[in-house]
């Protein structure tokens, strides 16, 4: 009996060690034998990534990865937290510790809209955001697609009770990074012929098709949410909006161009949408980038969780291995900087297609990679930020 028990314990410990080793390899590398990733093949322009998600525990590692693999000297953390104990104070510490290489957006809890002290809450929260050095306010897609009011309806992006928050953000000079809606495919039946079936299988909660799971009627359509978002941008000409994910309509670049034309207070960024915009006629997208050269910023949606797990734009059930980091950046740069044809996009789970590069001219790339972000978020020159020299191993 004793030996049998010993054997079982031994095998158990062995399995645990093996699992531990596999996890360690997954989380900590090896990143790539050919590192750093051929960055020299791309434009030597410093980059500001205006849309990342970094768990506080991973701040230093994130900054190293961004700099080494993406040439990103400043990254703006859309998971910067709420002020008054909701994480923003820690984010402010991190901003100091990383010498300005990782700066936070702050968050506002829109579900408090029905509370009697809503206006007071907005006032003290946004003012604290500014005091703590938040670069802007991040609005999650939950506004429009997640926050449920006491009558069971979804809080609309253009609900007039929210107006004071958007007005005040404008007065305080806080740009608003706003994610409204989601890919159009998420509003269509999650069946095998849905082009993002694989992603919807891994994340059933991302489907906005048909009835809401809480039983209060149906999800709104993609069109309805987009209309609410446009109403919001139109209503506050003195507030700067950063339309996340290529202005929330990468499937319809003409529509995004029309909005940029109509609303001078709108700028956009590219997070997690190179796969989508890369499918269009590259000449058409190139024209938009050139025509609105002052209004489009570099963003990736690079995400690092508390345990160090990576999500590069989007992922399946499992996080992305660190070995994919160089490819993730390279395929972005290849898209923006070259006119290569039919190459793989940065985020395979978003769909089985290839993309065509838009080969932007140098002066447009400089605006796109950093000078627009410097202006919109009032940031220092990215080369003046962070520690110099080689990253520590």
The site for Zn ion (CB under 5 A) is made up of: 301
Alpha carbon of residue 246 to chain centroid: 11
User: Given the complex with Zn ion, which of 37 and 313 has the nearer CB atom?
Assistant: 313
Q: How far is the CB of 301 from Zn ion (least distance, A)?
A: 5
User: Given the complex with Zn ion, which of 273 and 324 has the nearer CB atom?
Assistant: 273
User: Given the complex with Zn ion, which of 139 and 154 has the nearer CB atom?
Assistant: 139
Q: How far is the CB of 196 from Zn ion (least distance, A)?
A: 17
Q: How far is the CB of 212 from Zn ion (least distance, A)?
A: 23
User: Given the complex with Zn ion, which of 276 and 337 has the nearer CB atom?
Assistant: 276
Q: How far is the CB of 179 from Zn ion (least distance, A)?
A: 6
Q: How far is the CB of 185 from Zn ion (least distance, A)?
A: 18
Residue nearest Zn ion by beta-carbon distance: 301
Q: How far is the CB of 271 from Zn ion (least distance, A)?
A: 6
User: Given the complex with Zn ion, which of 230 and 301 has the nearer CB atom?
Assistant: 301
User: Given the complex with Zn ion, which of 182 and 301 has the nearer CB atom?
Assistant: 301
């Amino acid at each position: 009996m004793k030996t049998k028990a010993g054997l079982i314990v031994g095998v158990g410990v062995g399995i645990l060690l093996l699992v531990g080793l596999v996890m360690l390899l997954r989380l900590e590398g090896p990143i790539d034998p050919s590192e750093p990733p051929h960055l020299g093949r791309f434009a030597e322009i410093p980059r500001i990534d205006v849309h990342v998600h970094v768990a506080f525990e991973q701040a230093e590692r994130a900054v190293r990865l961004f700099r080494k693999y993406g040439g990103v000297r400043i990254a703006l953390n859309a998971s910067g937290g709420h002020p008054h104990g909701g994480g923003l104070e820690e984010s402010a510490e991190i901003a100091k510790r990383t010498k300005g290489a990782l700066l936070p957006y702050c968050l506002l809890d829109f579900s408090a809209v029905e509370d009697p002290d809503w206006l007071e809450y907005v006032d003290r929260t946004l003012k604290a955001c500014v005091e703590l050095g938040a670069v802007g306010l991040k609005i999650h897609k939950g506004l429009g697609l997640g926050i449920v009011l006491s009558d069971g309806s979804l809080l609309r992006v253009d609900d007039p009770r929210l107006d004071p928050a958007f007005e005040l953000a404008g007065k305080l000079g806080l740009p608003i990074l706003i994610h409204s809606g989601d890919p159009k495919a998420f509003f269509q039946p999650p069946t095998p012929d849905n082009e993002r079936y694989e992603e919807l299988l891994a994340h059933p909660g991302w489907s906005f098709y048909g009835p809401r799971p809480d039983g209060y009627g149906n999800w709104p359509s993609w069109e309805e949410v987009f209309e609410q978002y446009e109403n919001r941008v139109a209503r506050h000409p003195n507030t700067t909006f950063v339309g996340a994910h290529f202005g929330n309509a990468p499937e319809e670049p003409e529509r995004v161009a029309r909005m940029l034309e109509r609303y001078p207070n709108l700028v956009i960024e590219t997070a997690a949408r190179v796969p989508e915009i890369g499918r269009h006629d590259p000449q058409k997208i190139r024209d938009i980038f050139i025509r609105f050269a002052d209004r489009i910023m570099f963003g990736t949606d690079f995400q690092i969780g508390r345990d160090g797990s990576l999500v590069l734009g989007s992922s399946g059930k499992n996080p992305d291995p660190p070995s994919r980091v160089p490819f993730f950046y390279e395929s972005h740069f290849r898209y923006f900087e070259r006119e290569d044809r039919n190459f793989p996009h940065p985020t395979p789970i978003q769909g089985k297609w290839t993309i065509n590069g838009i080969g932007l001219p140098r002066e447009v790339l400089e605006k796109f990679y950093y000078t627009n972000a410097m202006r919109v978020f009032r940031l220092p020159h990215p080369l003046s930020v962070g520690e110099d020299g080689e990253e520590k191993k």
